[in-house]
Amino acid sequence: MTADPARALPRRLLIIDDEEAMHDSYRRSFAPPRGPDAPALGAMAAALFGADPAAESPGFALTHCRQGEEAVAAVERALADGAPFAAAFIDVRMPPGIDGRETARRIRRIDAEINLCIVTGYSDFSPVEISKVAGPADKIFYIAKPFEVAEIVQTATALADRWQVDRALAATRAQLAEQIVQLEQQAAELAANESRALHLATHDSLTDAPNRLAFLRALGDRARRPGRFAIAMLDLDRFKLINDTLGHLAGDALIRDVYAILTATAPEEAIVARLGGDEFGVLFDTAGDAAATMACDRIIAACAGTHRLFGHAVQSGASAGLVVVDGAGVDPLDSLRRADLALNDAKRVGRGVTRLFDETMDEGIRFRRRVEQGLARAVERDELRLVYQPIVARGELEVVGFEALVRWDSAVYGRISPAVFIPIAEESNVIHTIGDWILAEALAMVARLPQQYVSINFSPRQFRRHNFVAHVMESAQRAGVAPGRVQIEITETAIFDDAERAAETLFRLRQMGFRIALDDFGTGYSSLYNIRKFALDSLKIDRSFIDGMGRERESAAIVHSIIHLGRALGLEVVAEGVETVAQVQALRLAGTSHLQGFFFSQPVDGDVAVMLAERRVLAGGAAV
């Protein structure tokens, strides 16, 4: 431990008096014992002064001055030498020089820390007057002449101790202030780094335009507010030809030019994003179909014409697909899909035009209606089944849990992807029937496993069910399953639609012992403030970021940020969609706590899942 610098300084006193006899009195008062005759001398001093001054003297170094100017100079030298005085004992009357009041004033101006003790038998100046010029008042003291040895020694000892404590406290405060400055600088650097990382994750590196992720978030936010808005998707005409003939640098220059044109001609407050390649998205409020079409036509007209690229004049243009929707709870991804269908139609009919979406462009809509009808009878026809994908811990790659995934083998359409039928079920009450069946089957599976938990996905509509907590708890009790072996897996959309209500629901589930996982983290609308409010056990990184780690700097940055966030909040972090050895190694090094994906196992039926659970460590991970 480093020694306190203030404690290492000598206990130096400054004596200021024009009478030599007074200086002798100070010397005898602070004189230490000397030689074999010290006891006798001490006895004599006791007879003269009433006490042995050396008996209690803590050891002082005295500097004597006969006049005030001399004392002021001594204080200046002491500070310059790094050996300041702890206290100064000042006489008031010191003819022919400056008096004690002026001496105190000048000393205080030089040394703010010194303690001043006025020693006088006169009352030329009141304590208040001296305090006004040589304050603060708590650093000015008074002793009347003649003084007692004990009085002067005790005063000096107290003032010296206080001086040392004050200096130590000032040093500590200075050190704390320096540490606070350093912490503030570090916080500012972290905030700047976080801001840069967020910007990289949500902006295109070529144009600095918002990227697909930022556009989807903006679209999701807009879709939750009422009012009509338009989504336009634009694709450059002849872009591949320009890239192939003039090179990628020319293609990049064209992309930047077009982005500048879009931002200049898009409607006021529109969001213009580069979605990838030569594809752009524009999101803006509109009065209706006609107004939105006119806005897109202006953009298309501005993009058409000649561009100067590295000395070459090239002709280019753009095509647009447009969809106009009401923001009353529409599906943002489905709206974007419709705009994309309209764009394909624009390119098919001749390019350089705007095509407004209509349902004749989407065979999928008719298929969607047929699927919805089939879903209503899927449970009673026994067409649904659950499969289970292992979740392994990073360290020994031990199987700690399984995610339950639903599959539908339709008698009419064959196997239908959950990505297709789950959103359709979500839009109707069928999701509750299917969700109850999934919950019952998954809980029955938990009872077959040795110790692992099962993670069950719940849709936003299920999560908002008024009796959701009671329903899940009753189902677990009926199945004889401990809540700690059941993980409630929900998406960001499910909780951020009504953050306050979601926080209360999650808190109640955690109180009952259920695990909580936030699925597809990074693709929704979360903020650090909201994440802290929710009772969570783990974050699941969306597979799209894992897949893009090796190709896109943005995906790698997002993955690392999520891992660091999870660790900082004390949460497990599960990486989904792990398929390669390189991904496993990178994720383990980055600090993710759990892994899930085809590298370890595809989703398997219940019997195989039980076998994997009993084996505990997956063979596929042994080679990593």
Query: What integer pLDDT is reported at residue 432 of this predicted model?
Result: 92
Same-domain check for residues 384 and 353: no
Question: 201 in a domain, yes or no?
Answer: no
CB distance 581 to 599 below 8 Å: yes
Same-domain check for residues 453 and 590: yes
Question: 422 in a domain, yes or no?
Answer: yes
Same-domain check for residues 409 and 534: yes
Question: 392 in a domain, yes or no?
Answer: yes
Domain that holds residue 568: 378-623
SS3 state of residue 386: strand
Query: What integer pLDDT is reported at residue 396 of this predicted model?
Result: 87
User: What six digits make up the tokens of 198?
Assistant: 């967020």
Domain CATH code at residue 312:
3.30.70.270
Same-domain check for residues 571 and 483: yes
Same-domain check for residues 338 and 248: yes
Question: 520 in a domain, yes or no?
Answer: yes
Same-domain check for residues 351 and 386: no
Domain CATH code at residue 487:
3.20.20.450
CB distance 394 to 600 below 8 Å: no
Domain CATH code at residue 135:
3.40.50.2300
From 150, 171, 192, give the residue that closes a domain. Answer: 171
Spatial CB neighbours of 457, under 8 Å, sequence gap ≥ 6: 403, 404, 405, 438, 489, 490, 519
Query: What integer pLDDT is reported at residue 283 of this predicted model?
Result: 96
Query: What integer pLDDT is reported at residue 136 of this predicted model?
Result: 85
Same-domain check for residues 242 and 287: yes
Number of domains in the chain: 3
Q: Is the dihedral of CA 60, 65, 69, 74 positive or negative?
A: negative
Question: 240 in a domain, yes or no?
Answer: yes
Question: 453 in a domain, yes or no?
Answer: yes
Query: Which residues of the chain fall below pLDDT 50?
Result: 1-8, 38, 41-42, 44-57, 621-624
Cis peptide before 96 (omega within 30 of 0): yes
Query: What integer pLDDT is reported at residue 573 of this predicted model?
Result: 94
CB distance 236 to 171 below 8 Å: no
Same-domain check for residues 509 and 571: yes
Plot region of 120 (φ>0 → left; ψ -120 to 50 → alpha; else → beta) = beta
From 105, 140, 171, give the residue that closes a domain. Answer: 171
Catalogue the long-range contacts made by 613-621 (C-beta closer than 8 Å, 24 or more residues apart). Answer: 613/399, 613/402, 613/449, 613/450, 613/451, 613/452, 614/450, 615/399, 616/398, 616/399, 617/396, 617/397, 617/398, 617/399, 618/390, 618/392, 618/397, 618/399, 621/392, 621/397, 621/584
* Relative orientation angle of helices 430-448 and 468-479, to the nearest 10 degrees: 30
From 117, 141, 171, give the residue that closes a domain. Answer: 171
Question: 182 in a domain, yes or no?
Answer: no
Distance of CA 564 to CAs 558, 577, 583, Å? 10, 19, 17
Query: What integer pLDDT is reported at residue 523 of this predicted model?
Result: 63
Question: 67 in a domain, yes or no?
Answer: yes
Q: N- to C-terminal Cα distance for the chain? A: 46
Distance of CA 7 to CAs 58, 86, 177, 221, Å? 14, 11, 21, 62
Query: What integer pLDDT is reported at residue 33 of this predicted model?
Result: 56
Query: What integer pLDDT is reported at residue 527 of this predicted model?
Result: 53
Query: What integer pLDDT is reported at residue 345 of this predicted model?
Result: 86
Same-domain check for residues 414 and 528: yes
Spatial CB neighbours of 528, under 8 Å, sequence gap ≥ 6: 565
User: What six digits make up the tokens of 300?
Assistant: 């298309």
Q: Any idea how long the chain is? A: 624
SS3 state of residue 545: helix
Instruction: Tell me the C-alpha distance between 190 and 179, whole Å.
Output: 16
User: What six digits make up the tokens of 185?
Assistant: 């600088």
Same-domain check for residues 465 and 437: yes
CB distance 289 to 324 below 8 Å: yes
Plot region of 329 (φ>0 → left; ψ -120 to 50 → alpha; else → beta) = left
Instruction: Tell me the C-alpha distance between 179 and 175, whole Å.
Output: 6
CB distance 516 to 533 below 8 Å: no
CB distance 57 to 95 below 8 Å: no
Query: What integer pLDDT is reported at residue 367 of this predicted model?
Result: 77
Same-domain check for residues 317 and 355: yes
- In this structure, the number of other CB atoms found within 10 A of the CB of residue 265 comes to 17
Same-domain check for residues 336 and 485: no
Query: What integer pLDDT is reported at residue 470 of this predicted model?
Result: 95
Query: What integer pLDDT is reported at residue 32 of this predicted model?
Result: 67
